[in-house]
A and B are shown apart, each in its own frame.
Chain A
Amino acid sequence: MYVAIKLDKEKCIGCKMCIFVCPEANVIAFCPKSKKVEVNEARCKGCGLCVVACPKDALSLDNN
């Protein structure tokens, strides 16, 4: 089973809170054009710190 976060782009407001709590490097990137974040799921360990930090519930942990 591989655990990684899922991003709901519609809900993202680009506050970058998720970027500041992630213990892994280069997982969540900020796109200056769309002013939203992008997730590299292959690098995610699924700790869920960003899910807790997100003020808009744009991130979720799907266990499969």
Chain B
Amino acid sequence: MTKNILKMSPAFADIIPAEYRELVDNGPYGRDVGVAELGTFKELLEEHPLCAGCGLALALRIFLASLPAPEDTIVVGSTGCSSLVFPQAAVQNIHSLFGNQNSVASGLKRALKLRFPDKDKDVIVVAGDGATADIGLDMVMHSWFRRENITTIMLDNEAYANTGGQESGMSQQGTVLYMAPKGKNFPKISMPELAREAGCVYVAVGTPAQPRKLEKMLKRAIILARHVGPTYVQIMTPCPTNYKFKNNETVNRLKGLEKDGVFKPREYITAEAQEALNRLEEVSK
């Protein structure tokens, strides 16, 4: 896709919504803008219905600014809070049945490889922790076993936030939520380590409290999925609504969890992926 497809016919210019016009005139398509330039270009995201202070919304804002080629990106989503954002985002999006996201993405990536053999189309899965680590776990793991060239991103708010606060496999042991009154009785799943063992060539755990670092992780994951194999990024995204903290505390909470050692950002990369990364980062210099 080129920017031309977004251009509007001059005859309709006066009835096109202002937000769309801004996107055409000052959007990120085909430009070298990223997280550092936020605030100086029209973001791909429009007003969305997520709660005030939502960590997941902040992560998605950074994610959308980090895309290396938004015009050639297809985001495959799943039911959850994140799926309420994509109708307001100017990227191509498929909303799949809850849990099926990695299967849908696998098929899509294969079809796009056949249809556009000379072009990189980034297929990126963006889903919640419930969709990734619980209900969709078999589809997620098998897409990794099959070494599909897709990026999987988990927005980890440690709960089923969208359905009112049930515990997920990613909740910490002992967590009490609106619909988990007795407290969770088993520990958080080590998803990054599972991903590493299951065949992901690059795995990263990041936080929107460090937007530049998170951008780097996301870019690496997307580029390596093009050239080497499956990649996984887990983003910690606290939920003020279900975890009952003030909505101006989201970022401080992230920093606090990291300081207390409860949340540990980390990265794993295979030798093959590291070699490819060195080569690619050399070229882009």
* Chain A interface (Cβ < 8 Å from any Cβ of B): 16, 19-26, 28-30, 32, 37, 43, 45-49, 51-53, 61
Contacts and interface: CB of A to CB of B under 8 A. Distances in A.
B248 A52 contact: yes
B58 A45 contact: no
6 contacts: A23-B55, A23-B57, A32-B40, A47-B53, A49-B248, A49-B250
B47 interface: yes
B154 interface: no
A30 B53 contact: no
A26 B42 contact: yes
Nearest 7 Cβ contacts at the A-B interface: A48-B248, A47-B53, A30-B39, A25-B45, A47-B52, A23-B57, A45-B52
B138 interface: no
B43 interface: yes
A22 B249 CA distance: 12
Contacts of B38: 16, 19-20, 30
Contacts of A19: 38-39
Nearest to B37: A30
A28 B38 CA distance: 9
B50 interface: yes
A23 B39 contact: no
B267 interface: no
A35 B108 CA distance: 44
A16 B43 CA distance: 15
Interface of B: 35, 38-40, 42-48, 50-55, 57-58, 61, 64, 211, 246-252
Contacts of B52: 23, 45-47
B88 to A, nearest CB: 9
Nearest to B44: A25
Nearest to B64: A25
Contacts of A20: 35, 38, 211
A20 B50 CA distance: 17
Given A45-B52, A46-B52, A53 B39 contact: no
B46 A22 contact: no
A19 B40 CA distance: 10
B50 A23 contact: yes
Given A23-B50, A23-B55, A29 B249 contact: no
Given A45-B52, A48-B247, A52-B251, A23 B61 contact: yes
Contacts of B249: 52
Nearest to A26: B43
Given A20-B35, A22-B58, A23-B61, A49 B53 contact: yes
Given A21-B58, A43-B47, A48 B53 contact: yes
Nearest to A28: B39
A58 to B, nearest CB: 15
Contacts of B51: 45
B61 A52 contact: no
Given A20-B38, A20-B211, A23-B57, A49 B247 contact: yes
A50 B52 CA distance: 12
Report which residue of A20, A30, A48, A51 has the largest number of chain B beta carbons within 10 angstroms of its beta carbon: A20
